[in-house]
Chain A
Amino acid sequence: MSASEIPGDLKFLKSHEWARVEDNGLVRVGISNHAQEQLGDLVYVELPEVGASVQAGTGAATVESVKAASDIYSPVSGEITEVNEALADKPETINEDAYGDGWLFVVKISDRGELDELLDADAYAELIENEDH
């Protein structure tokens, strides 16, 4: 996968979660296309409760593929304001559209400084490029 396929407005954790700062200042979170490719067919998603607080770099959700269960870390700290309920019936949406309809949850960020610690799209592309070799 080349860097051009990764939306430029996304920031990443090394553990393959993406964060997108939306116009209203909230941060939408999902897993990268590379991550969904590695996991294979997703069959179950366990999401946090709306109102729960999450810490940057700690587990906030779990996704399960046929092969394995994986913890999903929140890229930023804050309060969960929305979760993607549609994934309950259609977890495969993550496989089909990891950067769009396959988002997981939205965080009201408590420390915007955390965003600077995330990888930008180019740095993330380089990371997965190196992982593949």
Chain B
Amino acid sequence: MTQKTVLNALHRELGARMVDFGGWDMPISYRSQIEEHHAVRRDAGMFDVSHMTVVDLHGARTREFLRHLLANSVDKLKVQGKALYSCMLNEQGGVIDDLIVYLLGDEHFRLVVNAATRDKDLAWIEQQAKAFDVAVKERPDFAMIAVQGPSARAKVIGLLHDVDRPRIEKLGRFAAAAAQGPHGMPLFIARTGYTGEDGFEILLPEEHAVALWKALADVGVAACGLGARDTLRLEAGMNLYGQDMDENVTPWEAGLAWTLSLDEGRDFIGRKALEAQKAAGVPRAMVGLVMDEKGVLRHGQKVLTPQGDGEILSGSFAPSLNKSVAFARIPVGVTDNVRVDIRGREVPVRVVKFPFVRDGKPCEGI
């Protein structure tokens, strides 16, 4: 059965084009997807991401549990409210999911995981948590609205209670804090995002979500669908679970080495397999591709290199660049003479470092 977020009726009222997104009926766009993309790069846009799964972990051994569960080190979280991006791996080093973990107290952490992976994630987390006596509690009572763009923070802060404003203005990147929104509604505001722009992701009790959405619209935040979210995150060099990595791919092969913490003596799930793969040599790498010719790189297209074939993972037209970019998994070490098979036509592409776009501007060499 298709699930609906608490904002579903409002999306329909706004004339959104709705699609099935991992079992959820979600807005892909409200008007031109490209205009929505530019609204976020140039001003401020908002996304309903209430389909994402929020999980609270409680217990005296929660930190110890997360040291075991996650490939990034939760010990980097020292201050209440700080957030960390991490992969959750299986014993083979494959990625079960990517997530954000927040430190909320000595015995309380919060995870935000993907919607499409909810069932397997919860099953895995609950299974692993038993040995640590950690209570795993899903929080379907939360809605989540991401507000992103160069004007996003100012627009959100303008809606907060006076006493909260200075504190939220000072909120650092990858940190979260509680604040009061319009009509005193309780907000959990995180300075995180999935667009490459500054902004907030806001968790709130779902009964207040429609009011917050309308208040944001009233101060000029543009409603944006998941279509724009996808082009924004691709330009920003951010992975999409299921497309760029899955359980058969290790972080080494998915451009996620930066999220691994091989800190001494920490026995996290998948570590042995990761170290073995590293020692044997990682055969494939995830790279960025830019196509200067007309056309669009798409998921699943074959990539031809002098050292063997690869494939396009995420690929799209990039509205901020006015050309197509992609992530591809190709034999490690390839930097040149790369072509993509587009409907039988072999089109040359350039191998580049990503992100492709940062803070509204194309990165060097793109």
Q: Give the number of residues in B that approach A within 8 Å (Cβ atoms).
A: 16
Q: Are B343 and A66 in contact, with the CB atoms below 8 A?
A: no
Q: How many angstroms between the C-alpha atoms of A95 and B31 in the bound complex?
A: 11
Q: Tell yes or no: A50 within 8 A of B by CB.
A: no
| B296 engages A64 (CB within 8 Å) | yes
Q: Kindly name the residue among B33, B317, B319 whose own CB sees the greatest number of chain A CB atoms within 10 A.
A: B317
- Do B317 and A44 touch across chains, with their CB atoms under 8 A apart? yes
B28 with A41: CB separation less than 8 A? no
* CB-defined contacts of A95 to chain B, threshold 8 Å: 32
Nearest-neighbour CB distance to chain B for A43, whole angstroms, equals 4
Q: Is B5 an interface residue (CB 8 A)?
A: no
> Is B105 close to A, CB under 8 A?
no
Which residues of chain A from 35 to 71 have any CB-CB distance to chain B below 8 Å in the complex?
Answer: 37, 40-41, 43-44, 46, 62, 64, 66-69
| Number of interchain pairs (Cβ within 8 Å) | 38
**Shortest beta-carbon distance, B169 to chain A, in Å?**
35
A3 interfacial contact with B, CB 8 Å:
no
Taken residue by residue from 6 to 18, chain A's Cβ proximity to chain B (1 for < 8 Å, 0 otherwise) reads as 0000000000000
Say yes or no: is A88 at the interface (Cβ < 8 Å to chain B).
Answer: yes
Judge if B283 is at the interface, Cβ distance under 8 Å. Answer: no
| Whole-angstrom CA separation of A66 from B294 in the bound complex | 13
- Say what secondary structure dominates the interface of chain A: mixed
Q: Out of A41, A69, A88, name the residue touching B298 (CB < 8 Å).
A: A69
Chain A 66-104 interface mask (CB, 8 Å, partner B; 1/0): 111100000000000000000010000001000000000
CA A88 – CA B294 in complex, angstroms? 9
Q: Check if B34 sits within 8 Å of A41, measured CB to CB.
A: yes
Q: Are B33 and A40 in contact (CB under 8 A)?
A: yes
For chain A, the count of residues having a C-beta within 8 Å of the partner chain is: 14
Taking a contact as CB atoms under 8 Å apart, the answer to whether B34 and A44 are in contact is no
Contact B316–A66 (Cβ < 8 Å)? yes
Residues in B with CB closer than 8 Å to A68 are 298
Measured between alpha carbons, how far is A46 from B32 in the docked complex, in Å? 21
Q: Would you call A67 and B28 a contact (CB within 8 A)? A: yes
Instruction: State whether B227 touches A43 (Cβ < 8 A).
Output: no
Contact in complex: A66, B295 (CB < 8 Å): no
CA distance A11 to B296 in the complex (A): 30
Interface-centre pick from A66, A68, A69, A95 (highest chain B CB count, 10 A): A66
Interchain CB contact (< 8 A) of B227 among A37, A67, A88:
A67
Q: Which residues of A contact B28 (CB under 8 A)?
A: 40, 67
Question: A43 vs B17: C-alpha distance in the bound complex, in angstroms?
Answer: 19
Indicate if B239 sits at the interface (CB-CB under 8 A).
Answer: no
Q: Verify B298–A66 contact, CB threshold 8 A.
A: no
Q: List 17 additional A-B contacts (Cβ < 8 Å) besides A66-B231, A66-B319, A69-B296.
A: A40-B29, A40-B33, A41-B33, A41-B34, A43-B317, A44-B294, A44-B295, A44-B296, A44-B317, A62-B343, A64-B317, A66-B33, A66-B34, A66-B227, A66-B316, A67-B33, A68-B298
Chain A interface (Cβ < 8 Å from any Cβ of B): 37, 40-41, 43-44, 46, 62, 64, 66-69, 88, 95
Jot down 8 A-B pairs with beta carbons below 8 A, ordered by A: A40-B17, A40-B28, A40-B32, A62-B343, A66-B319, A67-B227, A69-B343, A95-B32
